[in-house]
Structure 1
Amino acid sequence: MNEVFGLSEDVATLPVAEVAQRLDQPVSRVHQLVKDGQLLSFRREGEVVVPADFLGEDGVVIKGLAGTITVLRDGGYADPDILRWLFEEDDSLPGTPVASLRAGRHREVKRRAQAMAF
């Protein structure tokens, strides 16, 4: 994956190996989750990382993330654009889409993603 331009350096990330540990899965499974659109990864300082906010406290991928990624990909958005959108402030939510997903408001986020994609 390429460096994501426009994504704030403040976005906390985890190396793929740590994501695998938190999900209690092998590293190859994390790569498959990325390939399947369940997660997004990118390169930061030469290392493949996943935003920490994509994982819940319970050691699973946050609800609604995969569906949101699918809607945006189907709408023609590239992964770097999806990442930027997920971490951009949105006054109508309020906050960022990823914060809304973490708060359980995945339907609202998906509605906005659908509106953007079509």
Structure 2
Amino acid sequence: MTGENAASTPIEWLTLPELAEALGETLGRVRSMIDDRQFVSSRREGPVKVPAAFVVDGAPLSSLRGTLFVLHDVGFTDDEAIDWLFAPEDTIGMPPIEALLQGRKSEVRRVARALA
């Protein structure tokens, strides 16, 4: 499934059963992972979904959880956090999700904190 948010790159989505399969986990465990902020989900277009970019080599993107805490601390909702992660960010030079995938979590979190 692909959805697109305003002025950003398309997002490939995984439903919760697809996420469970990608992680090799049960659906209950995946829901717990969302509750623990290892992932953030959205209901924009039907069932609850998670961006596929949040899964790397069959595991949650390790830098995502702390980044989500920063975004929520500055007042972002789950959908706003997803939008920000996938939108081009001038101070980083790319969408924050791409920077996280490159291991640039400190830079992403610094920019996120400045959004407060």
TM-score by length of 1: 0.85
* 1:19 aligns to 2:16 (yes or no): no
- 1:15-48, Cα deviation, whole Å (9 max, x unpaired): 1111111111111111111112110111243221
Partner of 1:116: 115
Q: Superposition pairs for residues 72-91 of structure 1, below 5 Å?
A: 72-91=71-90
Question: Could you tell me whether the CA contact under 8 Å between 2:14 and 2:49 is conserved in 1?
Answer: yes
Q: Offset of 1:113 from its aligned partner?
A: 1.1
Residues 7 and 92 (structure 1), Cα distance of their counterparts in 2 relative to 1, 3 Å cut: closer
Aligned mates of 1:63, 1:94 — CA distance in 2: 21
Aligned mates of 2:23, 2:7 — CA distance in 1: 24
* 1:102 aligns to 2:92 (yes or no): no
SS at match of 2:43: strand
* 1:65 aligns to 2:27 (yes or no): no
Across the aligned residues of Structure 1 and Structure 2, the Cα RMSD in angstroms comes to: 2.0
TM-score by length of 2: 0.86
Q: Offset of 1:8 from its aligned partner?
A: 5.8
Residues 9 and 115 (structure 1), Cα distance of their counterparts in 2 relative to 1, 3 Å cut: closer
SS at match of 1:12: strand
Aligned mates of 1:15, 1:22 — CA distance in 2: 10
If asked which structure has higher relative contact order (CA below 8 Å, sep 6+), I would say 1
Aligned mates of 2:97, 2:90 — CA distance in 1: 13
Q: Superposition pairs for residues 25-64 of structure 1, below 5 Å?
A: 25-56=25-56, 58-64=57-63
Q: Offset of 1:92 from its aligned partner?
A: 2.1
Instruction: Note the residue ranges of structure 1 that are not aligned, 5 or more in a row.
Output: none
Residues 90 and 8 (structure 1), Cα distance of their counterparts in 2 relative to 1, 3 Å cut: closer
Q: Offset of 1:72 from its aligned partner?
A: 1.3
SS at match of 1:95: coil
Residues 51 and 7 (structure 1), Cα distance of their counterparts in 2 relative to 1, 3 Å cut: farther
